[in-house]
Amino acid sequence: MTPELFIYGLGFSGQALARRMQAKGWAVSATARTQDKAAALTHLKITPVNPADPDAMAEAMGRAKAILITAPPGPEGCPALQQIVPGLARSGAFPDWIGYVSTTGVYGDQGGRWVFENSPLRASSPEGARRVGAERDWLQVGQGMGLSVMVFRLPGIYGPGRSAFDRLRTGDARRVIKPGQVFSRIHVEDIASGLAASIARPRAGGIYNLCDDEPAPPQDVIAYAARLAGLALPPEVGIETLSPMAKRFYAENKRVSNALAKQELGWKPAYPTYRQGLDAIWNQTAKPLA
């Protein structure tokens, strides 16, 4: 029987995992709330499932060997909980793996210090606080239902079509200078390989940081992309010029460790720094930006 992956909230990261698992011979299904989205999924050889249809969800849960949740939580919590859990109960299904995609924002600001999966959670934004609650809820579901639920904390995600090159192309790139500021990041294909490694080696209650090896100042990433593209460096701007939302983003400063994922999952990023990641994107999609 063909194993099936079900994805709740098929976005940038979910599509990367879908492609990887399809290449391994898996079938993939995903949520689609509109006819246009359903048609787009069908074009990708992904079976669309209406999450508002309890019968369709129960049927999809009964087929799924692995379930990935990428949809962000709202003020009422994770929307997937209200539709996946009843579907599992109705179908009597026990998938081998349930992965919840969270964010390293749950750690909040750490003053540039290293954080690990057992570091205190000090989310400083409403979005980060909601992720903390959603992580807790999913891990409790796993314990209560005897399911293998894992949490994956991701930093800034980039890849083809979503990188410093695209900001340079649209003229939105800026070199924001805040002394001592660093961010961790991860190439979308490294997310997919990390999730696939966990599917092959599930551990109930596992929590993993998936990120690259080198936290770096954001202005260095923009400068490297500009040099690859042969463009002048965008101007430097101070933190005081940013919008309130952007200032909240830059208020968090931390280095994220990926050691546990490497140790337990046998995973390592194919793009261990932003330089390898940007090199690969440029070689894959190179086109004049000027």
pLDDT tens digits, one per residue of 178-208: 889 999 999 999 999 999 999 999 999 999 9
pTM of the model: 0.95
pLDDT beyond 80 at 245: no
With 0-12 / 13-18 / 19 or more C-beta atoms within 10 angstroms meaning exposed / middle / buried, residue 91 is: middle
Give the distance, in angstroms, between the CA of residue 271 and the centroid of all CA atoms in the same chain.
15
pLDDT beyond 70 at 242: yes
pLDDT beyond 90 at 272: yes
pLDDT beyond 90 at 215: yes
The amino acid sitting at 241 is: T
Bridge partners of 118? none
Express each pLDDT in 80-94 by its tens digit.
999 999 999 999 999
Express each pLDDT in 40-55 by its tens digit.
999 999 999 999 999 9
Q: Which of 21, 204, 173, 10 is nearest to 97 (CA)?
A: 204
Q: Is the dihedral of CA 213, 217, 218, 220 positive or negative?
A: negative
Rounded to whole angstroms, the Cα distance separating 156 from 280 reads 17
